[in-house]
A and B are shown apart, each in its own frame.
Chain A
Amino acid sequence: MYTQGLNQAVEDGGPEDAELLARFQAKIDREEKIEPNDWMPEAYRQTLIRQISQHAHSEIVGMLPEGNWLTRAPNLRRKAILLAKVQDEGGHGLYLYAAAETLGISRAEMVDRLLEGRARYSSIFNYPTITWADIGAVGWLVDGAAIMNQIPLCRCSYGPYARAMIRICKEESFHQRQGYEAISRLAEGTAAQKRMAQDALDRWWWPSLMMFGPSDTDSPHTGRSMRWKIKRFTNDELRQKFVDAAVPQAHLIGLEPPDPELRYDEESGHWRFGEIDWSEFNEVLAGNGPCNRERMAARRKAHAEGAWVREAATAHALRKQARAAAAAE
């Protein structure tokens, strides 16, 4: 069964050695890490390149909605926290690009794919940060959802990815706590602040739930990714974990998630939630979210305007080398 799946995935690489495949799978089954120089099926490599680069792009694009409030943070402490967070996200992008590069793709190629619209980033960053409360909501819910997704990735079978995730998860959980603290402050503040906080929850709740991806029944790669231990839990399992954590956090500060069907199921101990509007998810994925165009335009502009800077650095480095070589003669 799984060899069939693999053969399908390896489209132009030709059939792969069954013995190598068996050894590869056995290694994963023993919970040993796959390292860059180890043999791996082409589909495993391509799956990881897609996933890690998508993750890296998300960190970078994610700097934009939060960066939107860097110049308007309401006090100096919040400004410092936000600046540090956005800087962390840039750092996450760096580690992840580096992890993906171990699979034989350059960062420049990955960035080109993003800018040409051939690679995705997390759709959540196509939503706007309209008020300051959104900064709290993003930290609490978006970083919170990211952690749910990423903690299992710390045990991913691919060594460089797993190690990058360990470092990143520590910072993400810090971001989550700071975001929750920021929105809590609003929830216990003036009427205007409470309104801002509830409004942010109203807008970010469903998109955060969508961050876990399509429902298991509609998720094509789940089986194979689970077998390869790139994925440890299904989308729906992770989504449920997130809801179970976030609902009591909302209630604790007097906020209510915008879901009339939300109820606690005593028997299972889970919070049951209403139907997700996947048509919205698909619209945003198709490029029709509120900020898709702005986000990509901002990335393309930064890249285009940075071209002369990157060229200058290269030209100077070459000239310096040439001078050093001339001096050595």
Chain B
Amino acid sequence: MPDALTAAYALRLGDDALILSHRLSEWVGHGPELEEDIALANTALDLLGQARLLLACAGAREGRGRDEDALAYGRDVLDFSNLLLVEQPNGDFAQTMVRQFLFDAYAVELWPRLSASRDEVLAGIAGKAAKEAAYHVEQSAAWVVRMGDGTEESHDRAQAGLDLLWPYAGEIFEADGVEAALAEEGIAVAPSGLRGPWRARVEAVLDEAGLAPPEGAGVRTGGRQGRHSEHLGHLLAEFQFMQRAYPGAEW
């Protein structure tokens, strides 16, 4: 039976993972050190795995016959529902790692809670993702500390990344009717409840790194409703090129 709410929820989480994975995959072969190249690929691969499961789940609940690829490659900007944070460009390694840390610090709170979802499919995906997120946040937090507490240059770059990306963090905890209704039924996790633990972890890491969130930064939102930054269209133009150029072909 179609379940539009769960489909929309799974799609949001799936889009986050898909777009962030894509951004990380842009790094592969160009990382600052071989070990980091491999680690970036590894995180990209974990996120892609999560995205595939979530999009497949969304497609099934939607009941319109769209599979993971139809959803990933067949939608335009207005129908993507990822957070603005994850579509922001890689910038330098500091910007990439700050983006990753802000996201991982959320994911590591989300997935363990969602693994208790009454929806068994979502719970299963979340259980696997929880383990991955725990590893990811360990890595990205370590880099934030290394950069903040490294050289003057690395500190400044990390702070610049934080200044740039901090306004996108608030969106993580916004909820509309989708999350609210599903959280009520024990299917989704209400994002607002994650803000406290996220904030505690982020503050502890930034403190150790000697970094500080920018004062008076506004909050940029809209991704969940399809109101994206200019960056997503370019990302999709590249990502969807083959499916657009050869519609209907099997690969």
The chain A residues found within 8 Å of chain B, CB to CB, are 60, 63-64, 67, 70-80, 83-84, 86-87, 90-91, 93-94, 97, 132, 182, 185-186, 189-190, 192-193, 298, 301-302, 305-316, 319-320
Contacts and interface: CB of A to CB of B under 8 A. Distances in A.
Contacts of B246: 74, 190, 192-193
A305 B32 contact: yes
A70 B25 contact: yes
Contacts of A132: 242, 251
A193 B249 contact: yes
Interface stretch (B98-106, B108-116, B124-132, B142-150): B142-150
Contact of A93 (B34, B41, B238): B34
Given A64-B29, A90-B41, A310-B33, A80 B157 contact: no
A302 B32 contact: yes
Contacts of B151: 308, 311-312, 315
B93 A309 contact: yes
Contacts of B36: 306, 309
B22 A71 contact: yes
Contacts of A64: 29
A313 B25 contact: no
B174 interface: no
Contact of B33 (A74, A301, A309, A320): A309
B42 to A, nearest CB: 6
21 contacts: A63-B28, A67-B29, A67-B30, A70-B26, A71-B238, A72-B242, A75-B251, A76-B51, A77-B52, A83-B25, A90-B38, A93-B34, A185-B251, A189-B249, A192-B246, A305-B32, A308-B157, A310-B32, A312-B150, A314-B150, A315-B151
Interface in B77-131: 92-93
A72 B28 contact: no
Interface of B: 22, 25-26, 28-38, 41-42, 44-45, 48-49, 51-52, 55, 68-69, 72-73, 92-93, 145-147, 149-151, 153-154, 157, 238-239, 241-243, 246, 249-251
Contacts of B150: 311-316
Nearest to B149: A316
A63 B48 contact: no
- For chain B, what secondary structure do more than half of its interface residues adopt (helix, strand, loop), or is it mixed? helix
Nearest to B92: A305
A161 B217 CA distance: 54
Contacts of B38: 87, 90-91, 94
Nearest to B156: A308
A45 B22 CA distance: 42
Given A71-B238, A72-B239, A313-B146, A298 B249 contact: no
Contact of A298 (B29, B34, B69, B72): B29
B22 to A, nearest CB: 6
Contacts of A312: 146-147, 150-151, 153-154
Contacts of B32: 302, 305-307, 309-310
Contacts of A70: 25-26, 28
A94 B26 CA distance: 21
B145 A316 contact: yes
B153 A74 contact: no
A180 to B, nearest CB: 14
